[in-house]
Amino acid sequence: MKNRKLMLFLRFSLAAMVLAPFGSALAECKLVKSEDGIRKYYLVGDCRLADLFPKPPYELQRNPDFKPRLIIHLPNLHLTNIRQATFPSSVDVEIYSETENDGAVAVSSFDARLDWSIVDPSSSAIVDQGTDTITLNGLGVGQDRMDYVASIRVPDRNQDWDVEMTLQVDPDATVGGVIWETNETDNTKFESCRVYGPAPDTSKRPC
């Protein structure tokens, strides 16, 4: 019995040493993502998670061996689809995003960025290109939604035009964007479709 109590004391002492860095806060305190951006986060500095998050999205769990495990609850924006809509004789292609929050907590409003180009399929020349950014409403846990993002205008309907687009939710210049997520690799999709002219080449799907 004494040996068992000693082992428990040592284990809890070790747990206290592991958690000791959370006890005080310094300016260099930060949570660092791994390079691949998938469910790997490292606390850097002598600090507490409460210094990084206004509401603690984390909990401390203990397994049967009394080893502490820190669980950080985060949202996850998953861009599942890019939809397009065109109308007869119209030169506008409407772009919609389908996004799901399959993380553990709700997410506040976030941006979506659409990079697009219009290509003449007869010459493969880019005739127009641009970027559109829009702010979308937040998503609750398990919620999915389709949102209007932008309209892309082709030159005319006298011939075929290819529309190539890359859509990213929570975009940023660095890996991971603004919102901390459990998976930073499922925020982007690429699609290509064709606006048909009077004699369309149907080898590519229509927008």
- Are 60 and 7 part of one and the same domain? yes
What's the structural domain count of the chain?
A: 2
Residue range(s) defining the domain that contains residue 8? 2-72
pLDDT digits (tens, 9 = 90+) for 76-123: 999 999 999 999 889 999 999 999 999 888 998 999 999 999 999 999
Phi, psi angles (nearest 5°) of residue 103: -90, -165
161-172 confidence digits (pLDDT tens): 999 999 999 987
According to DSSP H, which parts of the chain are helical? 2-19
Last residue of a domain, one of 72, 106, 131: 72
Please check whether residue 200 lies inside any domain of the structure: no
22 CB-near residues (< 8 Å, 6+ apart) = 43, 47, 48, 49
68 and 157, same domain (yes or no): no
The confidence score (pLDDT) of residue 68 equals: 55
Evaluate if pTM is beyond 0.85: no
Residue 41's beta-bridge partner residues? 33
Q: Are 97 and 149 in contact (CB under 8 A)?
A: yes
